[in-house]
Amino acid sequence: MTEQRNLFLSLAAALIACGVIMVHSASITSWPTEFEQIYLTKHVTYLAIAIAIGTCCAVSPPQFWFRAAPLLFAVSVVLLVAVLIPGVGTAVNGAQRWLRFGVISFQPSELAKLALPLLLCRILAGRRQKRDWDWIERLPVFVPFLFVVPLVMIEPDLGTSIYLVVIGAIALFLCGWPIRYFLGVLLFVIPVSTTLLVLKPYQAQRITGFIAAWHDLNQAPYQLKQSLVTLGTGGVWGVGLGKGWQKLSFLPEANTDFVFAVVGEELGLIGTLGLVCLWCGLFGAGFQLLKPLNRVSFEYTAGLTLLTQLVLQAALNSAVVTAIVPPKGIPHPLVSYGGSSLLVSTVILGLVVSLTKQHATSNEQQLQFRANAAR
């Protein structure tokens, strides 16, 4: 177990180190200024805070997260409400998603990515083996969604709203939620999502632009076009670390949402595949850590859900950059510049370590404890 944990942490450290290097490289401008040093300094500062908090999470006992799940969820809801209050939340590019405290900014929707799966796994802990679910048992599962998803949509942030639903669905699936319920919800979600795209023309344009890109690159959205050009410029071996040109005001959000494209230009196909291998290795090592746990326990379902969502976000970011899915502003975990994403990603790593600790408590005692707490 110790060797597996060390491997997991080593792979995480490799991803974090890659992030520091690429944030610095992607922030270099065509003029010899301190611009890139400013970004690097901020990123390292965010990283130091994130590692400190992540370490505290890692040394906490697993039972702490079971007890703290409702409180953490309540805090995330309060922050999601606060960010919508004029004068409290900060609007950027027409979206009110940030809370600013001096030079520090935070996205409450990032905290919801932690709080929602933890609460769902707590609600369903120990019930995975049940075959029949009555209506009384079904209703509490939908309550967390009704709190966080509409608040994030109002910001507006449809992409994160959908992502939260997907995270919740992963948690429910791992907790043994019947497949027929997923199908029923899907029949409801599809027409609602279609209606929202009609009501938001700019979101519909993203879809149409993405489809057009596969027929004619000239019709692709500017960000997507520059992303593909950046990747193509790198070839197999890349142009060299720090020597990329597309980041010099050609590729938007080069050090955040499209940092994966900068990796492709400067380190080539070898660099992007190497980054993918690191993520696959992290998931495999994390899964091996979780494997000895009881499949119906809170620790297993919460740990695997959080680990899956972290790797899924990295996969989605790579898919956006390579035009596999429609463009959406989603950072690359541990690699992109940004305090909120870096903090939440590091906390997830700490939670996985915490939840995989060995207990003196037997599986039967754990399930009894969960049942008593749920009442």
Nearest to 163 by CA among 99, 200, 209, 114: 114
Q: What is the pTM of this model?
A: 0.86
Q: Tell me if 114 sits within 8 A of 69, measured CB to CB.
A: no
Six-digit token pair at 10? 């080593």
H or E segment to which residue 104 belongs = strand 104-106
Number of domains in the chain: 1
Distances (CA, A) of 12 to 115, 236, 240, 310, 313: 22, 25, 24, 11, 15
Residues 183 and 250: their CA atoms lie apart, in Å, by 43
User: Residue 214 is part of which domain span?
Assistant: 2-374
Q: Tell me if 144 sits within 8 A of 112, measured CB to CB.
A: no
User: What pairs with residue 100 in β-bridges?
Assistant: 105
User: What pairs with residue 91 in β-bridges?
Assistant: 96
Amino acid at 200: K
User: What pairs with residue 92 in β-bridges?
Assistant: 95
Residues 86 and 65: their CA atoms lie apart, in Å, by 33
Residues 251 and 30: their CA atoms lie apart, in Å, by 13
Mind listing the pLDDT tens digit of every residue in the chain (375 residues)? 688 899 999 999 999 999 999 988 887 764 445 555 667 888 899 999 999 999 999 999 999 999 999 999 999 999 999 999 888 888 776 778 888 877 677 888 999 999 999 999 998 875 654 555 555 666 778 889 989 998 998 887 877 888 898 999 999 888 877 777 777 777 766 666 666 555 566 666 667 666 766 777 777 778 888 888 899 888 999 999 888 888 887 888 888 889 999 999 999 999 999 999 999 999 999 999 999 998 888 999 999 999 999 999 999 999 999 988 877 778 999 999 888 899 999 999 999 999 998 643 434 445 554 555 555
